[in-house]
Amino acid sequence: MMWRRMHRSAGAGLALRATLLVTLALMPLGIIAVWQADRIFQDDRERAEVALLAVTERAAARERLIIERAIGAAAATGNTAVSLLSEPSRCSSILENFQRRSPLYSFVGLVLPDGSVPCRSAVTTVAERASADELGRTGLMEQQKLGLYATRDAANPAQSLLVVATPVFSGEVYTGHMTLQIPHANLKPSADDLAGEGPLGLIVFNNKGEVLTSEQQLEDAQAILPADTDLAVLARTEPYTFQARSGLGVTRTYAVLPMVPGAAYAIGTWSSDTGLLQAETPYWRTIVLAGLMWLASLLVVFLIMQVLVIDGVQSLRNQFRDFLKTRKVPTGPVRGRGELFDLETDFRDMAGTILREEAELEGAVREKNVLLKEVHHRVKNNLQLINSIINMILRGGHSDQTKTVVRRLQDRVMAMASVHQSIYEAQSMENIDAAETVREIVRQAVNIGLPRGSNVVVDTDLAPVVLHPDQAMPLSLLVSEAVTNALKYVGGDAPCIQVILSGTDRDTETGKRRATLSVINTVADETDDSDGTGLGSNLVRAFASQLDGKLESSQTDGVYTLTITFEIPDTELVDEKSVTIAV
């Protein structure tokens, strides 16, 4: 029923199935058209991205050339400075001549690991400190590798510098870093020389995400960069493009390419509607055309199905549902046409036949249940009659041993009577609440087996376990024997008997539901007389075998425990009940 309701709620009617079939028939053509359009669009997009990267590379050509030349010059002068490190004056003179011939650089100096600058182009404390302090900050000396960084003076932006630091070695021993300082004023943006469309902004940054050069003021450059993005994560070995929102909240396209792998990268900012990114192929037209063809096909199929089939089928379906809910034969005119007319007429005839046969079956079942309950009621009465006869025998008996044997027989008879009473009083004769049966057997055993004024406390904790009738009889007899045995041997300073019935766990191997019955009593000593070879013990084992259960017994610290675990029907349980009997 649940699956049927889900099926209906999903609208899986005849019209939907016909729509799905048409969709499946047209799907290969639509997929091919969309796939081809997507391939063309992707090709156009890739060509546009390549063009965007090419223009960005041309825009950064001047910066790339300056940085590459500076790296080469630093390597060459570094080798010279190392060879003349023992002659600081001569070394400084050579670097000063080099700096004079290369006005692009404002300072050239060799920074040793201790921060000193013995070989330099000019005695400029600010430049020396900028080289030494920044090298320590960037960690280039510890890593002994090439690096680029920028130094800026907020009070005097014209004094900001781009520093190229190249490690120099004497043989294989690290000597220091040769630094070349390039004033940002000497870096003329090559993007200004581009003919045609160019980037909105071009920024060069290092592998740590620090801005090295920018065509705009640093504050303006930060505004056009990707918002909330660390430039260090954009440093990659291959050029690529991506879209993101800028610091101004506008969606921009960014082109990133390596200038000096591992050291310097360029990022160009482009408007998302730049002509370089406009695909020539009208991709949306293919999608719209395929969608219109699909809608037209569905409309034709729907109209045909609605006129010829769906009206009649819906009428028949409603009659089925009304019959399922009200169990009444549909009335009124037959709306179906052709074969549907015959189908609806046959359904009405069949519905009438079903109602008549159901009435006959319900009467037969009701009569059978009444007879079966009457049988169980009579059996229960006969067992009670037998119990009365046994009482008469007990009153006339003189031997204590005979009375004990007869009383045990009386307990077994009353246990069977309790089962038949449970079946008689149950709403369903197929399922019996074992908790009620066990509770009644314990009550009878306590009333018979304990004298008035006894200080023995009898507790029951019984979960509502559902059993079949063929399980209820051996379980009842087993409970009777076990409780009688517990009453016989109960003892100790605080005599107590517990009867526990639970049925919540499942067998890990078979997956079937299991129930556990435990009868626990205190004993006067450590002697386990209850596990003897008498009739009671044999009966307990026999009843456990009939239940296909596992019987276990143990005695520890003056407490004797008898436990049986057996399988029960996989039926939902009702709320648990717990009763305490104090005698």
> Does residue 236 lie within any of the structural domains?
no
CA distance 498 to 486: 9
Residues 69 and 167 both lie in one domain: yes
Domain that holds residue 577: 436-582
> Does residue 387 lie within any of the structural domains?
yes
β-partners of residue 563 are 518, 552
Global model pTM greater than 0.75: no
CATH number at residue 103: 3.30.450.20
Q: How many domains does the chain have?
A: 4
* Better pLDDT: 459 or 408: 459
Confidence of residue 134 (pLDDT cuts 50, 70, 90): confident
* Better pLDDT: 18 or 151: 151
> Does residue 146 lie within any of the structural domains?
yes
Residues 166 and 292 both lie in one domain: no
Tell which residue, 213, 266, 214, 212, has the closest CA to residue 236.
266
Residues 119 and 80 both lie in one domain: yes
> Does residue 75 lie within any of the structural domains?
yes
How far is residue 233 from each of residues 134, 223, 229, 241, 449, measured CA to CA in Å? Answer: 22, 18, 8, 14, 85
CATH number at residue 443: 3.30.565.10
Residues 308 and 376 both lie in one domain: no
> Does residue 174 lie within any of the structural domains?
yes
Summarised one tens digit per residue, pLDDT across range 86-105 is: 898 899 899 889 988 888 88
Residues 296 and 385 both lie in one domain: no
H-only helix segments in 149-230: 218-224
* Better pLDDT: 4 or 149: 149
> Does residue 200 lie within any of the structural domains?
no
CA distance 320 to 318: 5
β-partners of residue 513 are 506
Give the mean pLDDT of 111-124.
83
Which of 429, 448, 479 terminates a domain? The answer is 429
Which of 153, 186, 219 terminates a domain? The answer is 186
| Residue 402: count of CB within 10 angstroms of its CB | 12
**Given this model, what pLDDT does residue 534 score?**
67
**Given this model, what pLDDT does residue 158 score?**
60
> Does residue 239 lie within any of the structural domains?
no
Q: Examine the pLDDT at 583 and tell me if it is beyond 50.
A: no
Least confident of 69-83, 114-128, 255-269: 114-128
> 152 — phi, psi (to 5°)?
-130, 145
Residues 181 and 67 both lie in one domain: yes
* Better pLDDT: 266 or 448: 266
Least confident of 80-89, 188-197, 423-432: 188-197
Residues 348 and 449 both lie in one domain: no
* Better pLDDT: 562 or 533: 562
Q: What angle do CA 281, 286, 287 make, to 5 degrees?
A: 120
CB contact at 8 A, 450 and 456:
yes
Q: Examine the pLDDT at 575 and tell me if it is beyond 50.
A: no
Give the mean pLDDT of 164-191.
83
CB contact at 8 A, 518 and 500:
yes
* Better pLDDT: 209 or 532: 209
Residues 446 and 550 both lie in one domain: yes
Determine the length of the chain.
583
Radius of gyration of the chain (CA): 49
**Given this model, what pLDDT does residue 256 score?**
92
Looking only at the bridges linking them, the beta strands covering 457-462 and 496-502 are: parallel
Which of 398, 429, 460 terminates a domain? The answer is 429
Residues 443 and 573 both lie in one domain: yes
How far is residue 572 from each of residues 144, 251, 438, 452, 564, measured CA to CA in Å? Answer: 75, 60, 19, 40, 21
Residues 511 and 553 both lie in one domain: yes
% the chain with pLDDT above 70: 77
Six-digit token string for 116: 């000193």
> Does residue 12 lie within any of the structural domains?
yes
β-partners of residue 107 are 181
Q: Examine the pLDDT at 179 and tell me if it is beyond 50.
A: yes
266: left (phi over 0), alpha (psi -120 to 50) or beta: beta
CB contact at 8 A, 201 and 214:
yes
